[in-house]
Chain A
C-alpha cells in the first residue's frame, strides 16, 4: 500500500504553497450590494439628513431657508399639533385592534376550516388589492352615505346612539365622523393583518389541537393556551404592518373625514405641499417617525419576538 498517513506531530511540508481566496472573489458580495445599497443611501438615508437639516432651518420661501439650529420648531410643532398626533395614534391603534379582532377569525377559518376552499378564500383576501385603493376608499362614501341603507340599519339598531355617546359619530351621520375614518383605515389595512396571521396559523401542527384536547383542554382553553400563543409572531407582524402605515395615513381622513378628524399625515401633507412651511413639516415628520419607532421598539421587546415580517 502506497498510502501513508502524515505522522500526527508532522509539521506542514517545507514551504507549503499557501492558497488564498483571490481578491476578485472576495469582492463579489460588495459588487452585488453596491447598486442597491447606494440607491438606499442616496434616496433613503440622505433624504433623512436633508430633512433633519430642513427641520432646524428658518426663513421664508421668498428669502430662502438657512440652517439656524432653530430647535424651537420642534416644540412649536408639538404644542400646536399635539391633538392631531394624539388623534393619529388613537385612530391607528383602534384600527389595529379592529383589524386583529376582524382578521383573526378569517385567518383561522382559512388556516384550519376551509379545506378545499382555502385557495379561493386566499384569493378573495388579496383580490381587493387588484383595484386601486383610492377607488375602493371612495366606495365607502357611497356605502356610508347619509340616509343610505347602512346608516339606516345602524340607526334603527341604535348603534349610532352608542357611537355618538362615545364621541365617534354625530347625530344620524357616519360620513365625516371619526367612525368613518377608523372604518376606512381598518378596511384598508385588513389584508396586512390577515396574511401574516394566516402564515403563522398555517404552520401550527393540527395534532397540537388534538394533543391539547387529549390533555383535557376545552376548545376555548386550547385556543388560549396553545393556538393563540403559537400565532404570536403573526399577531406581532400583523399589528406592526397595520399600525405603522395607519399612523401616517392621510387618505382616509381626507376622503371620509372632516376638518375635525385631521390626522398628523394631513398636517404634514398640507404643510409641505400647500402652506410650504418646510421646517415645520420636516419637524413634524421627524416627531412622527420618533414616536412610531419608540412605540414599535417597546412593543417588540414586550411581545418578546425578534421575528419581523
Chain B
C-alpha cells in the first residue's frame, strides 16, 4: 500500500502515456486486418495484403504525394518569412513593434475554424479558384506564427556580441550572417521548419474549407470515414510512425555520440 502511494505519480503518468499510445497500437494492428465490409473497425483475420499493395486504393497515394509537396512548400515559405520577422523583432527597434507582436500572436490564439472560414470568405468574394494554391497560402499563413515563435526564442538567447565579434574580426555583413548568425540560429530555424512541416502535413480544418476539389491526405482519410476506410490508410499511418520514430532515435543517437566524444 505504501509502495502504491509513493509511486502514485509514476502509475498515473504511465496510465496517461498508455492512453496516448493506445490508438497508435490499434492503427498498427489493424493494418494487418482483412475486414469483410467497407470499414476497417472490427478485427477479422490476419493479412498482409494491404502491406503488399499500399497504393492499391484509388487516389490515396496521389493525395499523399500532394500533402508532402504542400508541406514542403509551406515549410519553405513560412520558414523564410517567419525567420525574417523574428530577426526584425529581436534585433531592431522600430515603430509598431507591439502591433506586429499581436499580429503574430493572434493566429495562434484563434480557433482554427475561424481562420478557415474567413479565408474562404476572402477567396469566395474575390472569385479565386480553390485548390493547391489556396491551400498553400493558408498553410503558410498559419505556420508563420509558429516559426516566428521558435526562431525568436533562439535569437533572443543569442549574445549580440557574437556578431560584433565577427564584424570586429573582418567579417562583412554577409560573412557575419553566413558564418555566425545563421549557424547559431539554426536549431531554432530547424525547430520552426519541422513544426511547420508537421502542422501543414496533418492540417485538416483549414484545408477542408479552402481545398475545393483538391484532395490532400487528411482530406482523403476524412472522405473515407464516410465512404469506407481501406486498410491501406493504416499501413500509411504505421509506416509514417515507424519512419518518424526511427529518425528521432537516430538523431538522438548521433547527438549522444557527439556529447560523449567531447568530454566536459
Q: Which residues of A contact B (CB under 8 A)?
A: 28-30, 32-33, 35-37, 39-41, 43-48, 50-51, 53-54, 102-103, 105-110, 113, 119, 121, 123-125, 127-143, 145, 187, 190-191, 240, 244-245, 247-251, 255, 265, 268-269, 272-273, 278, 281-282, 285-286, 288-289, 292-293, 296, 308-309
A-B contact count (CB 8 A): 249
Q: Which 6 A-B pairs have the closest CB atoms?
A: A248-B111, A109-B13, A29-B92, A130-B244, A105-B12, A36-B81
The contact of A138 among B140, B141, B229, by CB within 8 Å, is B229
B47 CB to closest chain A CB, in angstroms? 16
Contact call A130/B149, Cβ cutoff below 8 A = no
Contact call B81/A39, Cβ cutoff below 8 A = yes
Closest residue of chain A to B97, judged by CB? Answer: A29
Contact call A139/B30, Cβ cutoff below 8 A = yes
Contact call B10/A187, Cβ cutoff below 8 A = no
B218 CB to closest chain A CB, in angstroms? 5
Contact call A128/B118, Cβ cutoff below 8 A = no
Q: Which residues of B contact A (CB under 8 A)?
A: 8-10, 12-17, 19-24, 26-27, 30, 41-42, 80-82, 84-85, 87-88, 91-94, 100, 103-115, 117-122, 124-125, 137-138, 140-141, 144, 148-149, 198, 201-202, 204-205, 208-209, 217-218, 221-222, 225, 229, 233-234, 236-238, 240-241, 243-245, 248-249, 252
B6 CB to closest chain A CB, in angstroms? 9
Closest residue of chain B to A112, judged by CB? Answer: B9
For the complex with contacts A33-B85, A33-B88, A309-B108, 7 further pairs of A-B residues with Cβ separation under 8 Å are A32-B88, A105-B9, A131-B238, A139-B30, A140-B23, A142-B26, A265-B205
Closest residue of chain B to A292, judged by CB? Answer: B111
B146 CB to closest chain A CB, in angstroms? 9
Question: B residues within 8 A CB of A107?
Answer: 13
Contacts A/B (CB < 8 Å), 17 sampled? A33-B100, A40-B107, A51-B121, A102-B19, A105-B12, A109-B9, A113-B10, A124-B20, A125-B20, A130-B245, A131-B237, A132-B202, A139-B23, A141-B41, A269-B209, A272-B120, A273-B209
Q: Complex: how many Å from CA A255 to CA B223?
A: 11
Contact call A127/B88, Cβ cutoff below 8 A = no
Question: B residues within 8 A CB of A138?
Answer: 41, 221, 225, 229, 233
Question: B residues within 8 A CB of A50?
Answer: 118, 121-122, 125
Question: B residues within 8 A CB of A191?
Answer: 20
Question: B residues within 8 A CB of A247?
Answer: 111
Question: A residues within 8 A CB of B85?
Answer: 32-33, 36-37
Given contacts A44-B141, A102-B16, A143-B23, contact A134 B94 (CB under 8 A): no
Closest residue of chain A to B222, judged by CB? Answer: A134
B24 CB to closest chain A CB, in angstroms? 6
Closest residue of chain B to A175, judged by CB? Answer: B41
Question: B residues within 8 A CB of A282?
Answer: 117-118, 121
The contact of A132 among B115, B117, B218, B252, by CB within 8 Å, is B218
Contact call A136/B13, Cβ cutoff below 8 A = no
Question: A residues within 8 A CB of B122?
Answer: 43, 46-47, 50-51
Question: A residues within 8 A CB of B115?
Answer: 44, 47
Contact call A190/B16, Cβ cutoff below 8 A = yes
Closest residue of chain A to B92, judged by CB? Answer: A29
Question: B residues within 8 A CB of A44?
Answer: 103, 106-107, 115, 141
B123 CB to closest chain A CB, in angstroms? 8
Q: Complex: how many Å from CA A71 to CA B37?
A: 49
Question: A residues within 8 A CB of B205?
Answer: 248-251, 265
B140 CB to closest chain A CB, in angstroms? 7
Contact call B41/A145, Cβ cutoff below 8 A = yes
B237 CB to closest chain A CB, in angstroms? 4
Q: Complex: how many Å from CA A44 to CA B122?
A: 10
Q: Complex: how many Å from CA A124 to CA B20?
A: 9
Contact call A39/B141, Cβ cutoff below 8 A = yes
The contact of B42 among A45, A121, A145, A268, by CB within 8 Å, is A145
Question: B residues within 8 A CB of A40?
Answer: 103-104, 107, 141, 144
A247 CB to closest chain B CB, in angstroms? 6
